[in-house]
Amino acid sequence: MSDRKLADRLREAVARREAAGRFDWDRMARSTQRLPVGNWRNWLILAGRGWGKTLTGAQTCRIWAREFPYIALVGATIEDARDIMVEGPSGILSVCPNHERPAYYPAKHSLEWPNGCKMSVFTASEPERLRGKQFCKLWADELASWPYLRETWDQCAFGLRLGKNPQSVITTTPKPLNLLRSLLHNRTTYVTRGSTYENRDNLAEQFFSEIINRFEGTRLGKQELNAEILSDNPGALWTLAGIEADRVMKVPDLERVVVAIDPSGTSTEASDECGIVVAGRDGQRKPHFYVLADLSLRGSPETWARKAILAYHAHGADRVIAEGNFGGDMVESVLRNIDANVSFKKVTASRGKLIRAEPVAALYEQHRVHHVGVFEALEEQMVNYVPGSPGSPDRMDAAVWAVSGLMEDGNPFFGWLQRWKSDKDKGEAEAMEEIAPGVTLGAPQTLIAPGTITVNSPRTDHMGNPISAAEAARRGGIVSTQTPAPVPFRFEDPHGVLSRPAARR
C-alpha cells in the first residue's frame, strides 16, 4: 500500500473514531451533566446560556429511551420543541448514532425508537393537549420561558405517573418565577447549577464573545450567564412575580383596543427598536386592562407602520396611538400612507417617563393589568427599568402608552384624574377613582375653590359620541337615568388641591 493510501486510511479511521466519540455521552459529559443517581423526582438544571442544557436533556432522554416505553418532551412552543429539542444541533436526532436514532413523525408529534419506546412532543402554548396523557419520564426545556407555565406544569405533573419511578429533567436558564422557586426548594428535586463559562471549550468563539459582551457585568448577566435567580430589582416599577400572578390565558370581551407605537426614526442596526404593543380594556366599572401582543421590531418607519396597521386590523382595534415627540406628524403620514382610514391619535410625552409610567405601574399593583401569554422581551424591560436610568426601553414605553391611552382614551376625565393623581395627594385621588372609573365625563369646566368642583358630564361613549342615559348607566357610570344631561357633578375638595394654578401642578 502506498504511503498516500495509508495516510488516507488513517485519516478516515481517526474521523470515524471522532464521529463515534460524538455520541459517547459517558465520555463527553461533564460530571454535572450526568444523570444523577438517588431518589429524586425532578432534576432541575438551572444553567447559563450555552451551558449544554439542551444537550443534557436530549442525552438523558436517550438513556431513558433504552428502558422506558413512554416519554414526554415539552418545549415552550411547537417551533422550539421541533427545532431545538428534536431536530436542533443539540436535539435528540443529532445525539443518536444511526442505529439508535428514532423515527420522527412531526404530524403525529411523536418519535418512535427502534426498541419501541414512544416519545410524544408537547408544547406549553397548548397545555390542554397534555390533558389525560401519561408517561414514565419527561423532559421540559426552557421552562422559565413557557407561555402558560402554571397550567402546563400542572398537566405535566398529572401525566407523570407511569412506572415505579416517574421522573423529569428540567433544563432552563432561570427567571424569578414562583414555580422555579418552589421546585428549587422541593425536597424531591435534585438541583444542578452551572454557568456559561463551564462550557467555553465547546462554544463557538463568536457565540461566547457575543453573549459575554452582552451580559457580563450586568444584573441580567447574573441570570443569563450564572443562572442566578434574581431577586426583584429594588428600584424597578414592576416585578416579574407581580406580572406572573396576573397573567391570563384567555381574553374576555373587550370594550376598547388600541395599538400603541413608540416610534424609532431610523432603521440602522444600532437604532432603537420601535415599540408596538396592543392592549385592550374590558367593560367593568373598574376596568381591567389586557396586554394582547408585543410586536416591537427594529426596522424602517414603513416596516413598523405596516406591522402596526396589520395589528390594528387583526385585533379589531379602535385606534392607533403614537408617541409624537419624535416626528409625530411623520408617524401619522407613514401610517396614513399604508391605511388612509386608520383612526390615529398622537400623544405627547410632556410629563416625563416616570410620571407616565407610575399610574400604569399602580394599575399593575392593583392586579388590573393582565398579560395574555408571555412577552419575554417586554417583561424584561419592565422589570429592569429603574426610573431615572439612561436608555430607552421602547417596548415598555409602548406598553405604558397603550395602557395609559386606554385609561384616558374616550375617558378624558380619567386622564385629567391621572394628572391630578401625580400631584402628591394620593388619598384624594383614590377617593376620586372610586367615583370615576368607567364613567365618561367631560373635562373639568369650572373650578370653584377651595371646597367644591363642578364638572359638566355630557353622556358620551369612549369615541365621544352621545349615548343614552340608560347606556351610560349600563357602562357603570354614575349618571342616573332620570337625570337629563349635562349633569353637574359635585364633590368635595377640602384641601383645595384642584384649585391650584395649573403651572404649579
Ligand X SMILES: Nc1ncnc2c1ncn2[C@@H]1O[C@H](COP(=O)(O)OP(=O)(O)OP(=O)(O)O)[C@@H](O)[C@H]1O
Q: Which residues bind ligand X (CB under 6 A)?
A: 28-30, 33, 47, 49-55, 89-90, 173, 199, 202-203
CA neighbor of 211 nearest in space, from 226, 225, 192, 194: 225
| DSSP-based three-state secondary structure for 154 | helix
* Contacted by 49, from ligand X, Mg ion, none: CB < 5 to 8 Å by type: ligand X
* Contacted by 199, from Mg ion, ligand X, none: CB < 5 to 8 Å by type: ligand X
Q: How far is the CB of 321 from ligand X (least distance, A)?
A: 36
Q: How far is the CB of 109 from ligand X (least distance, A)?
A: 21
- Please identify which residue in the block is written with the cell numbers 373650578: 447
Q: How far is the CB of 428 from ligand X (least distance, A)?
A: 50
Residue 201 or 253 having the CB closest to ligand X = 201
* Contacted by 202, from ligand X, Mg ion, none: CB < 5 to 8 Å by type: ligand X
Q: Which residues of 90-127 are buried (b: 16+ CB within 10 A; e: fewer)?
A: bbbbbbbeeeebbebeeeebebebeeebbbbbbbbbeb
The answer to whether 153 and 147 are in contact (CB under 8 A) is no
Residue 123 or 155 having the CB closest to ligand X = 123
Which grid cell sits at 167? 421522573
**Which residues touch 162 (CB under 8 Å, ≥6 apart)?**
70, 134, 135, 136
Measured CA to CA in angstroms, residue 486 lies from 88, 480, 482, 493, 498 at distances of 66, 11, 12, 21, 21
Residue type, 408: E
Query: Binding string, 22-61, against Mg ion, x = CB under 5 A?
Result: -------------------------------xx-------
Residue type, 230: L
The CA distance from 292 to 312, in Å, is 12
* Contacted by 320, from ligand X, Mg ion, none: CB < 5 to 8 Å by type: none
The CA distance from 385 to 387, in Å, is 6
Residue 90 or 192 having the CB closest to ligand X = 90
- Please identify which residue in the block is written with the cell numbers 438544571: 45
The CA distance from 236 to 234, in Å, is 6
Residue 374 or 467 having the CB closest to Mg ion = 374
Residue 1 or 204 having the CB closest to ligand X = 204
The CA distance from 147 to 90, in Å, is 23
Q: How far is the CB of 91 from Mg ion (least distance, A)?
A: 9
* Contacted by 51, from ligand X, Mg ion, none: CB < 5 to 8 Å by type: ligand X
The CA distance from 446 to 455, in Å, is 6
Q: Taking CB under 5 A as the criterion, which residues in 259-298 touch Mg ion?
A: none
Q: How far is the CB of 96 from ligand X (least distance, A)?
A: 14
Q: How far is the CB of 91 from ligand X (least distance, A)?
A: 9
The CA distance from 280 to 75, in Å, is 29
* Contacted by 256, from ligand X, Mg ion, none: CB < 5 to 8 Å by type: none
Residue 195 or 264 having the CB closest to Mg ion = 195
What's the 3-state SS for 407-455?
HHCCCHHHHHHHHHHHCCCHHHHHHHHHHCCCCCCCCCCEEECCEEEEE
Query: Binding string, 122-151, against Mg ion, x = CB under 5 A?
Result: ------------------------------
With CB atoms as reference, the residue minimizing the distance to Mg ion is: 54
Q: How far is the CB of 53 from Mg ion (least distance, A)?
A: 5
* Contacted by 167, from ligand X, Mg ion, none: CB < 5 to 8 Å by type: none
Question: At 110, which helix (H) or strand (E)?
Answer: strand 110-112
Q: How far is the CB of 49 from Mg ion (least distance, A)?
A: 8
Residue 195 or 460 having the CB closest to Mg ion = 195
* Contacted by 29, from Mg ion, ligand X, none: CB < 5 to 8 Å by type: ligand X
Q: How far is the CB of 190 from ligand X (least distance, A)?
A: 18
Q: How far is the CB of 460 from ligand X (least distance, A)?
A: 52
Residue 124 or 335 having the CB closest to ligand X = 124
Residue 55 or 372 having the CB closest to ligand X = 55
With CB atoms as reference, the residue minimizing the distance to ligand X is: 52
The CA distance from 335 to 341, in Å, is 9
* Contacted by 347, from Mg ion, ligand X, none: CB < 5 to 8 Å by type: none
Question: At 331, which helix (H) or strand (E)?
Answer: helix 328-338
Residue 77 or 267 having the CB closest to ligand X = 77
The answer to whether 174 and 144 are in contact (CB under 8 A) is yes
Instruction: Name the residues that contact Mg ion, by CB under 5 A.
Output: 53-54
